[in-house]
Amino acid sequence: MVELQYFGHSFFKIKDANGTILIDPIFDSTKTDTKRKGSIPVTPSDMTNVSLILLTNEMSEHYDRAAVQSIAEKNGATVVAHDIILKELNLPRMQKAPICSNCELSMKGFKVKTTTAHYPQSFYPMGYIIDCSGTKIYHAGVTALLDTFDKVRSDVAILPISSKSMDVIDAVRATKLIKPRIVVPMQYDLFDSNRHDPIDFKKRIEDSVLKTQAVILSQGQKLKV
């Protein structure tokens, strides 16, 4: 059984029998260039038994350097990210796993594969496909709609629906290319510039020919897959 928990924007926790993964953990939404409209319901000290921390890009809405370093130090977690991010972290080399697009690694009971993402404001955006004992979860990161989505194989797809990357319509198109069992929208709830409606997204999925189940998670809510 895999447990997926959402904390806001693109911050997710994935937990199974092997351990815990954090993706894009941020805790203070005021430390960004975008005016906030929400808060994060947890603190770095709440993150325990963390095995891996995956970072999709270097932008402040996705990467809280102080928090990542604190969590990694406390838990002995390995940070997986592009080398330009890892160079900023004062951690032992063994706690850093540099990675680039379309690469794979196996670590601490998880298989992690990166995917290409397209977001010109970021130096090197990426998505991740995490294999948790056979259950595959795709976190798209910040990206526009890509033709390569039809090559993504996942049970769960986590997709942005904000205008900074994909809007609701493009997220529906991405879902049609990926055809996951479950799709979860993200990046719509913490900042004023993100005014896209997850309920609209869910309805469009339900009204389509897809067999995909659209699940909207509130902050702190868990989903068992």
Q: Which pLDDT score, from 0 to 100, does residue 189 have?
A: 76
The mean pLDDT value for 194-199 works out to 76
Helix, strand, coil shares of the chain, percent, nearest 5, are 20, 30, 50
- Residue-wise pLDDT tens digits, 110-169: 999 999 999 988 889 999 999 998 999 999 999 999 999 999 999 999 999 986 788 999
Decide: helix, strand or coil at residue 153.
coil
Decide: helix, strand or coil at residue 1.
coil
Cβ within 8 Å of residue 52, ≥6 positions away: 19, 20, 21, 22, 77, 78, 79, 80, 107, 108, 110, 112
pTM of the model: 0.94
- Residue-wise pLDDT tens digits, 154-194: 999 999 998 678 899 999 999 999 999 999 999 887 665 55
Whole-number average pLDDT of the chain:
91
CA 86 to chain centre: 18
- Residue 35: is its pLDDT beyond 70? no
Q: What is the spatial distance between Cα 113 and Cα 134, in angstroms, rounded to a whole number?
A: 13
| CB neighbour class for 60 (10 Å; exposed up to 12, middle 13-18, buried from 19) | middle
Q: Which pLDDT score, from 0 to 100, does residue 8 have?
A: 87
- Residue 195: is its pLDDT beyond 70? no
- Residue-wise pLDDT tens digits, 38-69: 677 889 999 999 999 999 999 888 899 999 99
Residue with token string 């970072």 = 55
Fold classified for 3-218:
Metallo-beta-lactamase; Chain A (3.60.15)
Tokens of residue 201, six digits: 């997204």
* Band of residue 104 on the pLDDT scale cut at 50, 70, 90: very high
Q: Which residue has the higher pLDDT, 91 or 28?
A: 91
| Domain residue limits, the chain | 3-218
